[in-house]
Amino acid sequence: MNRHVTRRVFLGATVSSLSLSNNGVTSGAGSDQNLGVDQKKTGWIDAHVHVWTPDVDRYPIDTRRYSVDDMVPASFTPQQLMAECQPAGVERVVLIQMSFYNTDNSYLLDVIKKHPGVFSGVAIVDHHAADLPTQIEALSAGGVRGFRISRRGEGAGNWLTDPGMARLWKIAGRHGLSLCPLINPRDFAVIDQLCLKYPETRVVIDHFGRVGVTGEIVPAQLNSLCKLARHPNVHVKTSAFYALGKKQPPYKDLLPMLRRVVDSFSPQRLMWASDCPYQVQGKHDYQSSIDLVGDHLESLSKTDRQWILRDTSEKVFFNKVS
């Protein structure tokens, strides 16, 4: 498929009705309430995007760790996001809870609610919270389909022994929700152990597990990522191209890594994602990200491409849950 085909699919998806209000969720409801509803979903899905609003009075950030100066760009609302997505034929998006908000998922939930059928969500929860099951139930009812786990530089070592983490893995597995580790290659061994322990729990690893983030695709790291394919529930986001390898559009130096994960996991366990707004800063742009999978990965069949650009994400993040 080339980009012309990508655009044709996009144009077939009743795009004219995809109009978001100027101020994101803080504007009055009304004109865009039918957004995405009852449309045939043929457009692509971006499996990893962050949104935030400059309205920190209504949606406060975690000031113990962040200040408004850390919010760069100053805002990335659904409106700004869709201006990037729509020309590339992307119709639905998985919102990943932004670290500025820590465990306060209210902006993410409000955006999902305001645009039915367009967004799914991956939230952040405090896995030590006494009412974790209740929190998860409420988030799931609000359209959340996964939980982000990360250790901010500490490594994932204690995840194997942490009782809160055990609870989170069990609950997620029971309800068909995903755990989405933002990890580094040194953490793959821990994920491997957790997957043995909780085989029911679906796992979606962000950004190739950051193989290539140092600028170099280290073969041993890629091998250990691909070894995780032995667990049928492990999925990988082929994403954040701006941050991996040479970090230079059109990102073709990442093609060998992409082919390798396609061979190991199959397209049915891979999902493309941009990691906006970071993918649209400086020399980077949205179309270059989707084109790496849509245009440059020539060995893929049309069906394979549809899995990576839409169907895997649809199955994992736009599913009904029990």
Q: Which residues bind Zn ion (CB under 5 A)?
A: 275
Cα–Cα distance for residue pair 207/213, rounded to 1 Å: 9
Smallest distance from the beta carbon of 51 to Zn ion, in angstroms? 11
Compare residues 91 and 206 and give the one whose CB is closer to Zn ion.
206
Smallest distance from the beta carbon of 181 to Zn ion, in angstroms? 12
Smallest distance from the beta carbon of 148 to Zn ion, in angstroms? 9
Cα–Cα distance for residue pair 263/75, rounded to 1 Å: 38
Compare residues 13 and 51 and give the one whose CB is closer to Zn ion.
51
Compare residues 225 and 300 and give the one whose CB is closer to Zn ion.
225
Determine the residue with CB nearest Zn ion. 275
**232: CB partners within 8 A, 6+ apart:** 199
Compare residues 114 and 237 and give the one whose CB is closer to Zn ion.
237
Q: Let me know the angle formed at the C-alpha of 284 by 60 and 306, rounded to the nearest 5 degrees.
A: 90
Identify the three-state secondary structure at position 118: coil
Smallest distance from the beta carbon of 186 to Zn ion, in angstroms? 19
Smallest distance from the beta carbon of 119 to Zn ion, in angstroms? 15
Cα–Cα distance for residue pair 15/256, rounded to 1 Å: 34
Smallest distance from the beta carbon of 72 to Zn ion, in angstroms? 14
**137: CB partners within 8 A, 6+ apart:** none
Compare residues 98 and 258 and give the one whose CB is closer to Zn ion.
98
Strands, sheet with 178-182, edge to edge from the N-terminal-most edge strand:
44-49, 90-96, 119-123, 144-150, 178-182, 202-205, 234-239, 270-273
Name the burial class of residue 40, with classes exposed (0-12), middle (13-18) and buried (19+) by CB atoms within 10 angstroms of its CB.
exposed
Smallest distance from the beta carbon of 162 to Zn ion, in angstroms? 23
CA distances from 229 to 169, 232, 249, 264 (A): 18, 7, 28, 6
**178: CB partners within 8 A, 6+ apart:** 122, 145, 146, 147, 172, 201, 202, 203, 204, 235, 316, 317
Which residues pair with residue 76 across a beta bridge? 52
Compare residues 9 and 148 and give the one whose CB is closer to Zn ion.
148
Compare residues 171 and 244 and give the one whose CB is closer to Zn ion.
244
